[in-house]
Amino acid sequence: MSYFDAASAAPLHPVARQALLAALDEGWADPARLYREGRRARLLLDAAREAAAEAVGCRADELVFTSSGTRAVHSGIAGVLAGRRRVGRHLIVSAVEHSSVLHAADVHQADGGTLTQVAVDRTGAVDPSAYAAELRQDTALACLQSANHEVGTEQPVADVADACREAGVPLLVDAAQSIGWGPIGGGWSVLTASAHKWGGPPGVGLLVVRKGVRFAAQGPADERESGRAPGFENLPAIVAAAASLRAVRAEAAQEAVRLRELTERIRTRVPRLVPDVEVVGDPERRLPGVVTFSCLYVDGETLLHELDRAGFSVSSGSSCTSSTLTPSHVLRAMGVLSEGNVRVSLPFGAAAEDVERFLEVLPGAVAGVREKLGAPAAETVVRDDVLVVDSLGRRCPIPVIELAKVIGDVPVGGTVRVLSDDEAARLDIPAWCEMRGQEYVGEEPADRGSAYVVRRLS
Amino acid sequence: MSYFDAASAAPLHPVARQALLAALDEGWADPARLYREGRRARLLLDAAREAAAEAVGCRADELVFTSSGTRAVHSGIAGVLAGRRRVGRHLIVSAVEHSSVLHAADVHQADGGTLTQVAVDRTGAVDPSAYAAELRQDTALACLQSANHEVGTEQPVADVADACREAGVPLLVDAAQSIGWGPIGGGWSVLTASAHKWGGPPGVGLLVVRKGVRFAAQGPADERESGRAPGFENLPAIVAAAASLRAVRAEAAQEAVRLRELTERIRTRVPRLVPDVEVVGDPERRLPGVVTFSCLYVDGETLLHELDRAGFSVSSGSSCTSSTLTPSHVLRAMGVLSEGNVRVSLPFGAAAEDVERFLEVLPGAVAGVREKLGAPAAETVVRDDVLVVDSLGRRCPIPVIELAKVIGDVPVGGTVRVLSDDEAARLDIPAWCEMRGQEYVGEEPADRGSAYVVRRLS
């Protein structure tokens, strides 16, 4: 059993467990009360806030505990947008933010606000000057993650923060994936994080709002957590979150080196072990424990299932997994292959031998899936030098498999039209062309779905 | 050490602790994932939902877990108001709802909605026919607590639910104080509750929305918990919440009889042991473990401090406690004395000998506070048969103490004018008149604060 999905949720750190147990006994009472149990709870809450603030690098009175990272993001974005409403209603996000940021942006747009999504390059990073160019007179808030949750790419937060500062626009940094590794540099204004990503318990997020940032908490009033996080404080979990953040930080420098070496093994060896693989994300500027790759001609859900049977728990941004029929917005924004996508995110303490075993198991698992999928017959029609592949009603990776099977049947210079109504084809057919040195001509509307036109170059 | 503030937060039930520990090991992964840790987490979540739904008396797919009772109330009210916006924008609440309900109502009003607060009688209960009379064509939602959190009075939920059903208006029941004791009868439509009130951990609320109720979740989209509670599920706490609800229910019938007898001791003996005390709340239709009384000529915060020193943790709805300068809205709505207010709420398993010790300690504690406060000299001026007491700048209970000291100085039929700028005087001077058989003539504006006019009758 190797759990390689720490970017979704990290197993509870032993320190978090200890602290939680102690706080269940000491910290169950209402910290707003004046009697001794309440005062004791208040002391624990204050100490947790001090510890978390020290780890974040902020003042204790700038930090509140929310009920999740998602809540921190929702409240942080809504609060700044409302606080700076007089300045304007323009919001900037990167195209690869966590869904909690994008969904908050959707609400803003539905409410009449304007939104700019800053594109990313093929590694998943924004370009700081491109980001800066979107800052306007009426920009109320800019958002940028510290590092991407699907591919591990670190964003140029300090540079973007400088540009924001110069423009007088607050920058909200979603630090969920990286705060366990160290504080976020640069002059950010608002920061959010989630304890269960660093080995703390679920039920705790951080929302930090720097002094001087105009902030108007939205929703019904509540006196707790400076009015920014309504509801009775989840004190045992807060205590555990703060204690475990301190604990993982103490081990972070050493563990980062170790995990980086392990993910580097995967980055370099998977393409050698498995044909037709694209490793995605920045090879250098990345989280220590995350590595993501996509496998041509493979359906992500089946591959995850095979890996699970072999004892590996990993995640995927492919379509056809976990009840979604579209590839992850991150892979789409990067313009990389989404089929057969696998994210390996190693938890603290992941064993080298487990990574080695993963590298042993993976080639066979991919080959098995490909073998199963390789069989389906395609209905192909050759008209002059145009070959039409009808993949309507077939899900990824079938359209790409059909394309690969027939490309040799047209002469060099001839074209293949792949008919598909699968959302993933829009991303994966161009990605296949790039990997195979063929020309992607474009997408044309069809009676059902689209026709994806590919010209054979070699 | 006797903790008598279970209505604020109950100590963790042993079953909750056990379940939490087990779920920390088994349920830390993301229940939306397909690998084995995720599937295991999903099974735990499903089982917890089934258990909670069975205890509530609803279908499992009607119940979601929120991050607190407050969040359940906020989301429940906002969701029904939005879902029924076409019907109208009229909201009904009782005057003694929990602040989370009243604050959600404030947001609705600020947003242009209309609001009716249904008054309560001196016991704190609404009159079902008075409540029903407020139901209108454009009423989107009606809210009524199952029992009051400050005085323990049970509300006529089933009767109000019948009236709502007849009018086609959904009724939201805040069941935070009573769900541990048993399911809520009657045809309610939406129900909210909070785990830490029944001995579960903090960080878990329940939001139940009956099938057929129009509901439109507000705020950014999120796929978890049917889209009604964004953020990563706090699974260990959810498991503990469901397990402890089942456990307290198994003990509820027997424990209710025991606690009811203990609070009855307080109800009957405090007025005999302590002079000038008003026990508030319904003597019969009430929560088993809650009893509330107010002591004339006593400042609530000082009394709480004295009781804390004697080893008793209780709460108060008096002004001048916990950073608030106004008496609780519940005591105000009931029109009862607020000064020297004490709420005793016994946790499961509270010991009879601790209650006895409380009854031993209380008279001395009250007498001590009264002695300290009895001394202050009043500046009094007699003009004809009108005596003016200047209590400007003095906080409760001083204005009432001054009044009591001088009432004998005017002839029968003469009046005393108490000048006060303390908010509590508005409630406590009429309450004193009622307790003492004097006539409360009314309040008149003054240069500073108000003049409260009292006529001596005997």
Q: Which DSSP string do the residues of B214-243 spell out, in sequence order? A: -----SS--SSGGGTS-SS--HHHHHHHHH
pLDDT band at B352 (very low <50, low <70, confident <90, very high): very high
Task: Classify domain A9-248 at the CATH topology level.
Answer: Aspartate Aminotransferase; domain 2 (3.40.640)
Name which of B326, B320, B290 is nearest B305 in CA terms.
Answer: B320
Q: Per CATH, is A379-455 categorized as 3.40.50.300?
A: no
Task: Classify domain B11-248 at the CATH topology level.
Answer: Aspartate Aminotransferase; domain 2 (3.40.640)
* Strand pairing category for A205-209 and A63-66: antiparallel
A360 to chain B, closest Cα gap in Å: 19
Please name the residue of chain A whose CA is at the shortest distance from the CA of residue B200. Answer: A28
pLDDT band at A378 (very low <50, low <70, confident <90, very high): very low
Please name the residue of chain A whose CA is at the shortest distance from the CA of residue B6. Answer: A29
Q: Cβ of B68 and A67 within 8 Å? A: yes
So what's the pLDDT on residue B320? Answer: 53
Q: Cβ of B194 and A232 within 8 Å? A: yes
So what's the pLDDT on residue B244? Answer: 97
Angstrom distance (rounded) from CA A71 to CA A4: 25
Count of other CB atoms within 10 angstroms of residue A109: 13
Q: What is the CATH number of domain B252-374?
A: 3.90.1150.10
Q: What ipTM was reported for this prediction?
A: 0.90
So what's the pLDDT on residue A318? Answer: 77
Q: Cβ of A202 and B237 within 8 Å? A: yes
Angstrom distance (rounded) from CA A35 to CA A42: 10
Mean pLDDT for the stretch of residues A378-401:
78
Query: Please, which residues 32-61 of chain B have a Cβ atom closer than 8 Å to chain A?
Result: 32-38
Flag whether pLDDT at B376 surpasses 70: no
- Cα A246–A248–A249 angle (5° rounding)? 65
Cβ contact A436:A409 at 8 Å: no
Number of helices and strands in chain A (H, E): 12, 17
Angstrom distance (rounded) from CA A216 to CA B75: 19
Residues 6+ apart with CB under 8 A from A171: A141, A142, A143, A144, A157, A160, A161, A164, A165, A187, A188, A189, A190
pLDDT digits (tens, 9 = 90+) for A426-448: 989 999 999 899 999 999 998 88
Domain range A252-373, its CATH number among 3.40.80.10, 3.90.1150.10, 1.20.1250.20, 3.40.630.30: 3.90.1150.10
Q: Cβ of B231 and A107 within 8 Å? A: no
Flag whether pLDDT at A141 surpasses 90: yes
So what's the pLDDT on residue B186? Answer: 86
The one catalytic residue among B58, B143, B320, B433? B320
Mean pLDDT for the stretch of residues A161-172:
98
pLDDT digits (tens, 9 = 90+) for B16-70: 999 999 999 889 999 999 899 999 999 999 999 999 999 999 999 999 999 999 9
Interface contact A6, partner B, CB < 8 A: no
Interface contact B456, partner A, CB < 8 A: no
Which helix (H) or strand (E) covers residue B356, if one does?
Answer: helix B352-374
Tell me if domain A252-373 and domain A379-455 are identical in fold.
no
pLDDT band at B319 (very low <50, low <70, confident <90, very high): low
Annotated catalytic, B320?
yes
Residue spans per domain, chain A: 9-248, 252-373, 379-455
